[in-house]
Structure 1
Amino acid sequence: MTDNGYQKAEFDSESQQHRGGSGANPLVKLGKAVGRGLVAIPTFMATKLPFFGMMRHSTLGKLLLMFASLYLIAVGSLYVYSGEIYPFGKDNLIFKSSAASSDVDPNQVYPSGFDPHAARLAMLENPADEQAFEWKDWMDLKQVEQLVEAANKTRSIWPVSWGEKDPFKDMEMPPKHAGTEEQQTMVGDYYLLTRCPPPKKVILLGDKRIVNTYSPEELERRKKEKENLKAQEDMDSNTKEPEDSKEENKAEGDKKEKDDEKKEDKKEKRGSDKDTLLPELASDKLEDKIEVHIPREQFIFNATEVSKIKPGMTEEEREHARIVKTAVEYVETSDKHFREVPLKNDRAGHGVHYDWRFFNKLRHGKDHEAFMHHLIRAWADFCDQENILSLISHGSLIGWYWNGMAMPWDADNDVQMPIMELDRFARKFNQTLVVQDPKDGNGRYLVDVSPWYVERGRGNGRNVIDARFIDIRSGIYLDITGLAITGAETNRVNCKNYHFYPISDISPARRSLYEGVNVYVPNAYESVLLSEYKSARKSTYGSWTYTKDIRLWVKTEQCQNYKVRDKKFTKDNELTRYGACDSDEIWKEFNNTREVTAVHDKEMDLYADLEQLTDPDSQEMSDQKKQEIKKKFADLLRPFYARLRYDPR
């Protein structure tokens, strides 16, 4: 075995040719010769060897010879033809693009026969709160499934076996060595099909349905366990004395009534705050959510306290405490939790922006923007439905600052959370599959929280990202990092990547519009940006320029000769061809985004008004004025703004 599974597979798909074609490799030719030889063996044995010659003259001998002949013919045929469905030797095609050997186009995410809507609809139709989950129902894993089935069928025919040729044996999961896009896609798909555990629950946005999920085997085990428990209870109740049974039934009835009352009290209590650490998020009035004040204690993480199991805890809380305790014990030697995609010839490092399990190809341009857009929309809807506070940060915050949109060159989305909100998020939602509201699209997203978030310093440097929200259709993700007080300065918070902020720069969090959906941004957003990016207010970046007239980032070279303001718009304020730099793409982009970018400009004016309320010289301004500004904000944020990008596949 080599130390590199990819080397053994000889990842050079361009140099390999389709088996059986004009460039069939020597191994296949040898296989055909072997097959012809195997077919001739029974005749040779019968004519040249005395024992087999004698067998020819008996009925039993003839039957045995016939069986041996058929068996050897079958083995020879498989050896010759299984190259089409099963790879042998060093020219292993299991990692090769199937473009030449399959009817499935590798550029399609949804090949013919896979319905991406079916799993969601089936889950909705099933009233059970516990359901079976298989990744192949939610993703197109048909190609690797066929390869696995073929390998299982052809790897051995008793008594002949070539099990040592198992093409999946040396596959690295996660991959450590660089491969092609097709190769790394196969690695992720194989892991999902054969090894990846199911999510703990599925949340259907829009329908507001939550379903606990298990593997089919685990669900069946739980079902039998419940049936056995019920049968035992029935048996015990039937063997009791009548009087004893009567008294016990009354006692059980009283106990059940009290338990039901407790459950209702608990339900009512949880319903009142909707299980949130921040009361403003639970309000039904949008005006109350415009500003969310974050208490200082939300930035303090005490792992020892969190890991204590206390009376009255739910099973979810007890399990979380155990996980935190274990993580604290092993965090110093922790391995990297999140793994990306190492790609050959990837000098720009595109592969680091994809999760290895769900990667299927690099996305560029409008295709990438579409995935990013749906990712942040689904995240914002998820946070709103479940009362989760996150603040957009880093590159995403720069994009918001300029026009309320992601910058066209940005590779991922970033958000931050107060550490205790991140802890609650981990407890309630880790390993949850979030299904996008169908009015927006068909996205499916996995919540994955690293157990090493319990370390609030940089640690060994392998786990500066605390959690991710991952698009399982593409592998593109949203980075989530916690903010905590870690040093002697008790009013400053930081993430693991040495970004420090005064708490007053973060709180109160301000509600705003980003990519057409409601999000939160830091209180002193300009101060936060300038602490990280000294040039955040510059209207040029690389080959891009921000054009205020159309509120878009455009290529500098493309628009440098279109600067006459009077020529850009008609009397009806419609963008002209000149104003769009003679570009159909810019014209379409402006008309697609003009509503939400105009809202952003109005928001920035309202933020300026709010700033005046915090000015010591303007303290005479009443709370009524502040409420008026909040109402104007709510009026801007209340409408539903339709998606701005197509639903990608």
Structure 2
Amino acid sequence: MPVLETTDFGDEGAKVRDEVQELGEETEEGPQTTDTKYFHEPGGDDILGHYDKRYFHGVVSYGERTDTLRHMVRAYLDFFRKEGLETWISHGTLLGWWWNGQMLPWDWDLDTQVSGTTLVHLAKTLNYTTHTYTSPDRLVSRNYLLDINPWSRERERGDGMNIIDARWIDVRNGLYVDITGLSETHPDVQPGVWSCKNYHRYRTSDLYPLRDSVFEGVRAKIPYAYGRILIDEYREQALIDTEYEGHFWSQDRREWVKIPERSTTELEADTAKRLEPDHGPVPRPITPSGPEVLQ
């Protein structure tokens, strides 16, 4: 099992909190600032927009990104499980789980969700703490910062600058897990409807009871109606298409493979398949092809 140790960031954490307070006083609705955005990235494109600016030292390689994200999500899931805190994978991370229980290799970050109640607990007791992770083989040791956005208490979208409520950040390079909270924002008129600040909405029966499964080799929670959630967000084609973002799905290897790595045999098989009469895509059953759903 991975080893995790939790410590406070001490003076550095206090410095960041002081900087936030210097921007303006906090109220029950969140900090009152001129620049309302809390998390900053070194750029706005698909690559630079997926690093935390404070820890960015340059774009990492494909291999380093894969290694970073894999250990990062393992550390995150193990930490939440050991703390008895509820979290589940979501968005593109959930789609990767559906295919083979692993992250999508073209993703630059990972996505998880928590309830509003868990988010409040994180902000009160674990904000700006660092967590040391050691892999089971003890060959990898990493530090991660759990940083809760002070605007997380505001459950409406606002100006859209703070839709991410928290991050789990690799302090070596700035790659991160996005954490978003779900709340019953308007229980009086929409009871049982949970939403984040980026217009994703779910019914209680979509989420609960959470299912137990495995993601990247560690125990993970997934939403109950994962098939419906994925189709609503990505359409059914995302569960059918076998070529995307410079990768193809290898049924033999049961993983997404970069197209330049395709063997001659795989290329010939793919070509033959493309020459067959087109009868349209054959929908796959809405069940994961790799991970086991334990409940």
Asked which structure has the greater RCO (Cα within 8 Å, sep 6+), the reply is 2
Q: Deviation of residue 214 (structure 1)? A: 3.6
Verify the 8 A CA contact 1:467 1:480 in the aligned structure 2: yes
How many angstroms apart in 2 are the aligned matches of 1:420 and 1:334? 27
How many angstroms apart in 2 are the aligned matches of 1:451 and 1:353? 20
The one-letter code sitting in structure 2 at the alignment partner of 1:505 is D
Check if 1:374 corresponds to 2:71.
yes
The one-letter code sitting in structure 2 at the alignment partner of 1:336 is K
Q: Deviation of residue 542 (structure 1)? A: 3.7
Check if 1:482 corresponds to 2:279.
no
Trace 1:449-464 onto structure 2 (pairs within 5 A). Answer: 449-464=148-163
Aligned length: 259
Verify the 8 A CA contact 2:69 2:110 in the aligned structure 1: yes
For residue 547 of structure 1, the aligned residue among 244, 250, 253 is 250
Q: Deviation of residue 438 (structure 1)? A: 5.3
Trace 1:195-594 onto structure 2 (pairs within 5 A). Answer: 206=3, 210-211=6-7, 214-215=10-11, 326-328=27-29, 330=31, 335-342=36-43, 348-437=45-134, 439=136, 440=138, 441-487=140-186, 488-534=189-235, 535-538=237-240, 539-556=242-259, 559=262, 561-563=264-266
The one-letter code sitting in structure 2 at the alignment partner of 1:341 is P
How many angstroms apart in 2 are the aligned matches of 1:601 and 1:496? 31
Larger Rg, first or second structure (1 or 2): 1
How many angstroms apart in 1 are the aligned matches of 2:211 and 2:169? 25
Verify the 8 A CA contact 2:50 2:109 in the aligned structure 1: yes
Seq. identity, %: 34
Distance of aligned partners of 1:506 and 1:382 in 2 relative to their CA distance in 1, 3 Å threshold: same
Q: Deviation of residue 564 (structure 1)? A: 10
Q: TM-score, normalised by structure 2?
A: 0.79
Deviations 1:97-137 (A, max 9, x none): xxxxxxxxxxxxxxxxxxxxxxxxxxxxxxxxxxxxxxxxx
Q: TM-score, normalised by structure 1?
A: 0.37
Verify the 8 A CA contact 2:7 2:129 in the aligned structure 1: no
Distance of aligned partners of 1:511 and 1:334 in 2 relative to their CA distance in 1, 3 Å threshold: farther
How many angstroms apart in 1 are the aligned matches of 2:214 and 2:30? 41
Trace 1:98-113 onto structure 2 (pairs within 5 A). Answer: none
Q: Deviation of residue 602 (structure 1)? A: 6.7
Verify the 8 A CA contact 1:388 1:425 in the aligned structure 2: no
SS at match of 1:436: strand
Runs of at least 5 residues in structure 2 that lack an aligned partner in the other structure = 15-24, 270-287
Distance of aligned partners of 1:531 and 1:383 in 2 relative to their CA distance in 1, 3 Å threshold: same
The one-letter code sitting in structure 2 at the alignment partner of 1:340 is E
Q: Deviation of residue 426 (structure 1)? A: 1.3
Q: Which has the higher strand share?
A: 2
Q: Give the alignment's Cα RMSD to 1 decimal.
A: 2.9
How many angstroms apart in 1 are the aligned matches of 2:231 and 2:217? 25
Deviates more, 1:553-562 or 1:478-487: 553-562
Match of 2:282 in 1: none
